[in-house]
Structure 1
Amino acid sequence: MADDVTRRPTLRDHSLMTTSEPSNRPTPREAWAALAAGNRRFATDAAEHPSQSRTHRAALDSGQSPSAVVLGCSDSRVPPELVLDQGLGEVFVVRTAGHVTEPTIVGSVEYGALVLGAPVVVVLGHESCGAVAAAAQTLESGDRPGGAVSAVVDAVVPSIAGITAAGAPVRAESGEVDVVALRRAHVRRTVRELAEGSAGIAAAVAAGTCAVVGAEYSLTTGEVTVLDVVGDIGAEPTA
């Protein structure tokens, strides 16, 4: 057991890391507060991490201890490290189109939260998500994109199908598809998939050592809004 303390964590340490914590590990509240502060800096053009020094890079050679896991969309306009103003080694990022989940994605999130010990998991959606728009189009017309892209759409459809009426997505007063409601429903469903579908993450949330947050990034303002919270981050959903 003494060797486990000094060597880097591996996948074999999954059960060990869910039951023991480094003494300097931040709480979910502290971890979220750091992300929220970073986003405020980014949104006000006061970012502190435009680059990383050679000294800092060298210090990370011995291992990583990220304070957050971010499951985000692959959209080129929403790089989590930038919009949350975090430096090297501070966030463990997993990205897929439409932040969809499947076993390897959940496994990657579990690795960050349970093996590396990150106390907060953030599902980061965003405005103008093409994957959600494509899923809405599929529900309306039955048309699916070709190739493997259809797998992404198929993974999003269950998130928004639950808020449809007569096969058509919920519509705003204008008569247009309410894409805001659809993409937020997708974020919330992804949160539940992680917080309830992963036994390890569910146990960490119950123990108070981890929280799962659903959030949305505004392409216009650069701000991140909390949509859903499972656990205690000291903040409530605001949208």
Structure 2
Amino acid sequence: MSKTEMTAGEVWDSLVEGNDRFVSGRPHHPHQTPERRGELVGEQTPHAAILGCSDSRVPAEIVFDCGLGDLFVVRNIGQVVNETVIATMEFAVVALGVPLIVVKAHTSCGAVAATIEQSGSTPPDTTPAIRNALDLIRPAVAEEWLSAPRASHVVDAELIDANSAGRRHVRRMIAELTSRSEVIAEAVDQGKVSIVGCQYDLNHGRTVPVTSVGALNI
């Protein structure tokens, strides 16, 4: 049993219930009291690790109606998997014993849109650091573009489904986590950790499952 004393299925169910409360406009805002702060001074036992996009519209604690100490969160543009993310997720698994990792994308993602622009005929200027991050999204954009017959590998932003590319990117980032981290891959194989990929809908506030890895079958 994890340090949270919850299974991956129980954790996912609690996140779905929290998202339901958020969508309905009746959040509970749990674990946000001075007493809760005091309880967490000596330790933390989050029940899920979240890799999400830095977009200001999609904070995990709010969309899942969670509070202090509930989620172990790392965010960057386009929820890309890099060395820092892998280290963070490994810490969540090894030191904190989380049974569930969630990779959370969202619709109308600026990072995906920027990657599509970079994959077009006239890519706009950007910084080297941003370009490096977008390069991790580029394979999903190319895969989505070439999923239909095309006369050219050059992506046309008017013809590609950006949200579908975002879902492909989620699957690829989960594959990156399990292929680049022996710790996470072994935890999944041993049934200690499950991974869920999902996409948050900006219009409705609903977080929709895309894929899952491990014992938890979404």
Letter in 2 for 1:102: N
Distance 1:50 1:115 in 2: 24
Q: Say whether 1:150 aligns with 2:138.
A: no
Any gaps of 5 or more consecutive residues in structure 2?
147-151
Alignment of 1:193-212 (within 5 A): 193-212=176-195
Q: For residue 27 of structure 1, what is the aligned residue in structure 2?
A: 7
Change (3 A) 1:21 1:77: closer
Cα contact 1:191–1:228 (8 A) shared by 2: no
Alignment of 1:214-229 (within 5 A): 214-229=197-212
Cα contact 1:169–1:178 (8 A) shared by 2: no
Letter in 2 for 1:153: L
Question: SS of the residue aligned with 1:162?
Answer: helix
Distance 1:114 1:30 in 2: 20
Shift of 1:140: 1.6
Q: For residue 61 of structure 1, what is the aligned residue in structure 2?
A: 41
Cα root mean square deviation, aligned: 1.9
Of stretches 188-197 and 33-42 in structure 1, the one that deviates more from structure 2 is 188-197
Distance 1:229 1:115 in 2: 23
Change (3 A) 1:145 1:71: farther
Letter in 2 for 1:180: N
Change (3 A) 1:91 1:145: farther
TM value normalised by structure 1: 0.83
Q: For residue 119 of structure 2, what is the aligned residue in structure 1?
A: 139
Letter in 1 for 2:209: V
Shift of 1:160: 2.2
Question: SS of the residue aligned with 1:61?
Answer: coil
Distance 1:48 1:101 in 2: 32
Q: Say whether 1:45 aligns with 2:25.
A: yes
TM value normalised by structure 2: 0.90
Letter in 2 for 1:179: A
Cα contact 1:144–1:150 (8 A) shared by 2: no
Q: Say whether 1:167 aligns with 2:153.
A: yes
Distance 1:120 1:45 in 2: 26
Letter in 2 for 1:83: V
Distance 1:176 1:126 in 2: 19
Q: Percent identity?
A: 37
Aligned residues, how many? 212
Deviations 1:73-97 (A, max 9, x none): 0000000000011110010000000
